[in-house]
Structure formats: C-alpha cells, structure tokens
C-alpha cells in the first residue's frame, strides 16, 4: 500500500516537470526592451509597436514566422500568486510569487459570475478534478501558447497560418481566408480559429470551444460559450506582444484580458522536437482513484 | 508516463536506431529520374507544385494494406502494396499473425496512440498540407497529429531518436516532393491487420500532383530487421472539394477517457 503512494508521488513529480519549465520566475531585466511586470510590459510593448515596422512576407504581410518561447507567463494562475495560496512554498509542486498576467479589469482578477468564483481560483476544479492537461488532454487556447517552444508558419498563399507546438505535439490551423462560421453544435478542444490582419497585428478569433480545458494550474476556466480573441504584434524584431481577451456570458461578468511575451528562439538550427501525449498518462486512473478526483469534461457536467 | 522531455530523451537514448539509415543522404535513396514537369498545375510563388489543401484517401488500407475480404466493421478491399505481398522474415511473419489475433486491443489505433507514418497518411480522415519554401507542414484530423517536412536542406537529426511521426527531410525532384523519413518507434503498425515494422524503419515517400485535385502518393518501405527486401505502396490522395471543408478533431484517447468518465458518472448518479 505504501509503495502505491510512493508511485503516485513519483508520477506527480514527472507530470509537473513541464509545468515547472513553463513556470520559472520572471527574469529580472527586460523583455524586448520593456519591463517584466505584465501590465508595465503591456503598455510599453503597445507603445513600441506604434513605431515598429515589422519584417514583411513577399506579399507584404507582417512576417511572424519563426520559433518562439513564452516569457512573463507562469502556469500557476493567471491571477498571480500572492503567497497566501496553499501551494505557495509547498514541498511538492510549490508555487512561487508571481504578478498577475491579467491587464484588464483594473483589479486584475478574473471577473467571474458569483457561482463560478468558487469553482475556478483554486476552488472546486482544483480540489475535485484532474487537471485535464495532466490527463493528456489538449491544453487548449491560450494555455498551450505558454508551454514549451512553438513555431509559426505563414504559407505565401496567405490563406492559412499554421501554429505548431512542441507541448503534447499540438497544432492550430488559423483560417485567414474569410471562411464561414462552423455550426454551433461542433465543439473542439482548440476551437475554430479565424484570423485577419489589423494593421501589423494578427488577430485570431476563436469560437466553437468545448470548454474541456483549464486556463491554468489553479483550475481557472471558461465554458463552451467562450469566445477568445488573440492579438499577436511584433514590437521589436524578436518579441511578440501576445494578448488574449476572453468573454463568456455563462461564466464571466465582462471580458478580461491577459498578456505575455513570445520571444524568438535564435539558436541556429533550432527545431521543435516531438513531445506527444497520445499514449496517455499511465497513472491517471490511479491518481484519480487515490486522490479521489474526477476527469474534467467541462462545466456542463456540473449541471450549470 | 510521457510528460518530461527528459524522459523522452532517456527513451531515445535507450532505444537505438541504426545510424546508417540516418547518415545516408536522401538524394541517393530515391534515384528515380525527376518526373516530367507538368504544365497547368497550380504552383506556389516559388514555382513548386502547390500541394496545399485538404486531402484524403478513398481506400481500405487503414484496415489492411493487402487484399482482404470483408470482416465485421471492415469493408473488403484491394491492397495498396505492389505485388500484394509483404516480404516478412519468417520470425516476423509469426509476430504479424499474433498481432492480427490481438488486434482489438493491441492495435495502436485502439490505444489512441499517434499512428506514425505511413499509416496516418491513409487513415479515413482528412489531412491538410501547408507549404512554405523551407517547410511542408501536414496536419491531421486523426489525433490532431502533425508532420513537419524540412525542405530547407537540413539533414536528419543525428539520433538515436524515437519519434512516433519520424524525422522527415524532403527535397524536390522536378515536380515530385521526395521525403526521407527515419527515427521511428517500433510501437506503430501499418494497418489494423497487424502488419508492423521495427524502429529501424526507413521510408522514402513521393508526392506528385497529377492534376489539381489528385496527388499520387508512393512510399517505399525498408526495414531489414523485419523484411527481406524493400517494398512499395501507392495510392491516390483526393482533394476534399466540399465548400466548407475543414479539419475537425478526432482524438481516440480523449474520447475513450470521456466515455469512461460518462459511464462512471452514470454509476454514481
């Protein structure tokens, strides 16, 4: 019996390895010449973007192609870590002090409707369900964008943008050719992504989300009614200002916005490796049984 | 357990791929003369045939790459293997038979694994091709898989490495995209019938746009640990023409978890 608990602990340690990698403390200094506190970074980067002329593709579109890695993003909680959380300083999977990544609303908290606040934010989700990412589900949008390196490809035909992720071997296809909406009853882990250029900014409109993913380790969430808008803006040759606005009439009282940086990987010959998860978490069933948690398949399972 | 990159590396180091497969330059492996440049083909701005779009096979190779009669849930089908014969070594043939007997649970498709190449190419699900001068990207509805085919002149990674989807390096011979693939695992199969390979699998794929809506796809399979000689499959890929065609998601592993969770929920309610 004791051995089984040891195995669970070992399993947990392995599971969180990549979370830790993505969750390093913000490095002192600057990112793209901007401060590292997310709100200060946000204002500075948008200001720089006003005068920055990005490299162009042959057809004249901003050229975002390359390999990137997230900065100023921590995986614990988009609301930041203040030190009062039970995971702060924990022996296993400790969280470290982090500023909120939310830049709007001004209180930098997720504007949950009352019923939802006790479910996200280290609430019911965190204590009663298995983090879907631990169970090898697609990390979802935008969580996948902060894990491990990614690569943006822009075919010269300008009809699609392909966004590849090392984490869990995931990919997103961004439709750039004004395709019609998908039927409402089709729900997808990563949603249906349609993009367009707003000046030098790539704007991605994501609909048809199934709401089976979490936003962060704290169990913050959206439902299948969510609509996500991502904005990618190069504001210096190697840094993208990445902004995500989430609205969800079932769960939030208003839209809210998070920001982090995507920094170009400049090592010569850098390539994405294959880091798949389709073979599943072999210990998921044991973890579920021993910790008394359940698989998470969205808010509708709770009857809201 | 799969999360840690460290674990992936450790696995890669333990499972050794023959180095010679990786070291051989792709150009020597596909010595066929370049296809005649066809006129009237759609082309990318850099004058390569434009393979972009959403494609799908119309055959039964995912169930059995050889001629086969119908089985429950499996349509009868004509094989896609040249000569309709696989040159198994004797000990490998008995493993193939064992795989067939256990296919309901042993097939990587039943386990929700990434299916590897070439099987992912002929699953009955759509896939999409993207082209830039340096890369050909492929995304697959089945399992949300993707392939990156490097056409930027870079060689295979040194290895040893075990990638479910292999390490793909491509170049153009006339109007044909030729792709050399190595660094596989031995955990994927060619089909539901249990046809299999080792991690020493080496593929040479040829993608030739026959007309705007058809790609002739050929793949030569070399795996000396399992087969006595190289062999070849070929099949057309058909362009999906529906006006609203779009890759969706089919992830058997997640669907199976969801199915189990549904059953448990019903039990407790």
Instruction: Please report, for chain A, the start and end positions of each structural domain, with discontinuous segments joined by +.
Output: 2-302
Q: What ipTM did this prediction achieve?
A: 0.89
Residue B69's φ and ψ, nearest 5 degrees, are -80, 170
Strands (E), chain B: 53-56, 127-131, 135-140, 146-150, 167-173, 176-182, 202-211, 214-222, 231-239
Substitution target in B119, B146, B152 with the highest count of A β-carbons within 10 Å is B146
CB spacing of A280 vs B137 below 8 angstroms: no
- Containing A228, the helix (H) or strand (E) segment is strand A227-236
Check residues A26 and B247 and name the one with the higher pLDDT.
B247
Among chain B residues, CA nearest to A268:
B154
Mean pLDDT of A256-274: 97
Determine how β-strand A102-104 pairs with β-strand A150-153: unpaired
**Residue B49 has what DSSP assignment?**
B
Structure-token match 């440049």, residue found:
B37
What per-residue confidence (pLDDT) applies to A287? 86
d(CA B152, CA B53): 21
Cβ-contact B2, A277 below 8 angstroms: yes
Taken in order of first residue, the domains within chain B and their CATH numbers are 5-268 (2.40.128.20)
d(CA A194, CA A173): 9
A280 in reach of chain B (CB within 8 A):
yes
Exposure class string for B169-190: b at 16+ Cβ within 10 A, else e:
bbbbbebbbbbbbbbbbbbbbb
3-state class of B52 per DSSP?
A: coil
3-state class of B195 per DSSP?
A: coil
Mean pLDDT of B75-83: 98
- Rounded to two decimals, the pTM is 0.88
3-state class of B178 per DSSP?
A: strand
d(CA B225, CA A191): 43
> pLDDT tens digits for B196-247?
999 999 999 999 999 999 999 999 999 999 999 999 999 999 999 999 999 9
- Residues of B with Cβ-Cβ distance to A284 under 8 angstroms: 257
3-state class of B146 per DSSP?
A: strand
CB spacing of A283 vs B2 below 8 angstroms: no
The CB-side HSE value for A196 (13 A sphere, CA atoms) comes to: 5
d(CA A174, CA B187): 32
Is the predicted pLDDT of residue B13 greater than 50, yes or no? no
User: Which residues lie closer than 8 Å to B189 by C-beta, 6 or more apart?
Assistant: B99, B107, B108, B109, B115, B119, B195, B196, B197
Among chain A residues, CA nearest to B249:
A188
CB spacing of B133 vs A294 below 8 angstroms: no
Mean pLDDT of A279-293: 84
Angular region, B180: left φ>0, alpha ψ -120 to 50, beta rest: beta
Q: What is the mean pLDDT of chain B?
A: 88
Nearest one of A220, A242, A268 to A72, comparing CA atoms: A242
Cβ-contact A278, B112 below 8 angstroms: yes
d(CA A258, CA A73): 10
CB spacing of B164 vs A159 below 8 angstroms: no
The CB-side HSE value for B207 (13 A sphere, CA atoms) comes to: 23
Residue B265's φ and ψ, nearest 5 degrees, are -65, -40
Residue A304 CB neighbours (<10 A): 12
Structure-token match 């006006």, residue found:
B243
Confidence label for B4 from pLDDT (cuts 50, 70 and 90): very low
- Containing B267, the helix (H) or strand (E) segment is helix B252-268
A303 in reach of chain B (CB within 8 A):
no
CB spacing of A189 vs B145 below 8 angstroms: no
Joined together, the tokens standing for residue B1 give 């357990």
Q: How many Cβ pairs closer than 8 A exist between chain A and B?
A: 142
Mean pLDDT of A217-226: 96
Q: Within its chain, how far is the Cα of A120 from the centroid? A: 15
Among B8, B112, B148, beta carbon nearest to A278? B112
What per-residue confidence (pLDDT) applies to B38? 56
d(CA A134, CA B143): 17
Among chain A residues, CA nearest to B263:
A295
d(CA B249, CA B142): 7
Residue A125 CB neighbours (<10 A): 24
CB spacing of A58 vs B45 below 8 angstroms: yes
Mean pLDDT of B54-62: 98
d(CA A240, CA A32): 9
What per-residue confidence (pLDDT) applies to B201? 98
**Residue A91 has what DSSP assignment?**
S
What per-residue confidence (pLDDT) applies to A141? 95
Cβ-contact A276, B114 below 8 angstroms: yes
Among chain B residues, CA nearest to A166:
B5
CB spacing of A17 vs B1 below 8 angstroms: no
A164 in reach of chain B (CB within 8 A):
yes
- Residues of B with Cβ-Cβ distance to A169 under 8 angstroms: 114, 144-146, 164-165
- Residues of B with Cβ-Cβ distance to A186 under 8 angstroms: 248
Cβ-contact B63, B192 below 8 angstroms: yes
What per-residue confidence (pLDDT) applies to B15? 39
> pLDDT tens digits for B19-38?
334 444 444 444 444 444 55
d(CA A223, CA A209): 8
Residue A206's φ and ψ, nearest 5 degrees, are -115, 120
Interface of A with B in 63-92 (CB under 8 A): 65
Mean pLDDT of B57-79: 97
d(CA A239, CA A21): 20
Among chain B residues, CA nearest to A302:
B265
Residue A124's φ and ψ, nearest 5 degrees, are -55, -45
User: Which residues lie closer than 8 Å to B61 by C-beta, 6 or more apart?
Assistant: B77, B79, B80, B122, B191, B233, B235
Check residues B27 and A113 and name the one with the higher pLDDT.
A113
Cβ-contact B87, B228 below 8 angstroms: yes
Residue A98 CB neighbours (<10 A): 23
Mean pLDDT of A140-153: 95
Residue B239's φ and ψ, nearest 5 degrees, are -75, 130
């Amino acid at each position: 019996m004791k051995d089984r608990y040891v195995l669970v602990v070992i399993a947990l340690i392995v599971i969180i390895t990549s979370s830790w990698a993505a969750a390093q403390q913000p490095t002192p200094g600057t990112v793209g010449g901007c401060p590292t506190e997310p709100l200060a970074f946000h204002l500075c980067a948008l200001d720089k973007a006003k005068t920055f002329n990005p490299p162009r593709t042959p057809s004249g579109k901003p050229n975002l192609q390359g390999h990137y890695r997230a900065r100023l993003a921590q995986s614990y909680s988009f609301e930041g870590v203040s030190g009062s959380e039970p995971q702060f300083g924990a022996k296993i999977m400790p969280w470290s002090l982090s500023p909120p990544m939310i830049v709007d609303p001004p209180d930098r908290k997720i504007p949950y409707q009352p019923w939802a606040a006790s479910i996200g934010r280290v609430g019911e989700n965190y204590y009663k369900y298995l983090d879907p990412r631990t169970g090898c589900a697609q990390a979802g949008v935008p969580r996948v964008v902060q894990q491990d390196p990614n690569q943006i490809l822009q075919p010269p035909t300008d009809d699609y943008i392909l966004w590849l992720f090392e984490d869990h071997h995931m990919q997103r296809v961004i439709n750039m050719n004004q395709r019609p909406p998908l039927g409402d009853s089709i729900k997808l882990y990563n949603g249906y992504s349609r993009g367009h250029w707003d000046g030098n900014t790539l704007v991605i409109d994501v609909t048809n989300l199934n709401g089976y993913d979490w936003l962060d380790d704290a169990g913050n969430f959206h439902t299948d009614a969510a609509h996500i808008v991502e904005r990618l803006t190069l504001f210096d040759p190697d840094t993208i200002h990445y902004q995500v606005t989430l609205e969800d009439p079932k769960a939030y009282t208003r839209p809210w916005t998070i920001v982090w940086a995507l920094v170009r990987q400049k090592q010569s010959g850098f390539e994405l490796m294959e880091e798949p998860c389709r073979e599943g978490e072999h210990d998921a069933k044991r973890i579920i049984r021993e910790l008394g948690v359940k698989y998470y398949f969205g808010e509708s399972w709770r009857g809201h | 357990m799969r999360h840690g990159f460290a674990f992936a590396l450790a696995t890669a180091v333990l499972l050794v791929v023959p180095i010679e497969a990786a070291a051989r330059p792709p150009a020597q492996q596909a010595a066929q003369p370049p296809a005649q440049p066809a006129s009237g083909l759609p082309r990318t701005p850099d004058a390569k045939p434009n393979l972009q779009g959403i494609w799908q096979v119309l055959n039964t190779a995912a169930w059995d790459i050889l001629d086969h009669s119908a089985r429950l849930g499996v349509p009868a089908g004509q094989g896609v293997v040249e000569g309709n014969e696989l040159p198994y070594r004797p000990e490998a043939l008995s493993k193939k038979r064992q795989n067939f007997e256990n296919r309901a649970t042993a097939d990587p498709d039943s386990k929700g694994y990434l299916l590897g190449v070439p099987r992912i190419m002929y699953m009955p699900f759509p896939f999409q091709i993207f082209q830039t001068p340096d890369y050909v990207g492929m995304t697959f509805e089945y399992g949300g898989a993707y392939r990156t085919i490097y056409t930027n002149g870079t060689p295979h990674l040194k290895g040893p490495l075990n990638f479910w989807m292999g390490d793909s390096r491509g170049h153009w011979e006339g109007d044909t995209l030729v792709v050399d693939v190595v660094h596989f695992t031995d955990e994927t199969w060619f089909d539901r019938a249990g046809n299999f390979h080792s991690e020493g699998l080496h593929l040479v794929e040829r993608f030739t746009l026959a007309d705007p809506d058809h790609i002739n796809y050929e793949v030569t399979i070399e795996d000396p640990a399992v087969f006595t000689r190289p062999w070849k499959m070929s099949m057309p890929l058909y362009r999906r023409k529906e006006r609203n065609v779009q890759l969706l998601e089919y992830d058997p592993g997640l669907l199976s978890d969801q199915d189990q969770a549904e059953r448990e929920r019903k039990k407790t309610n």
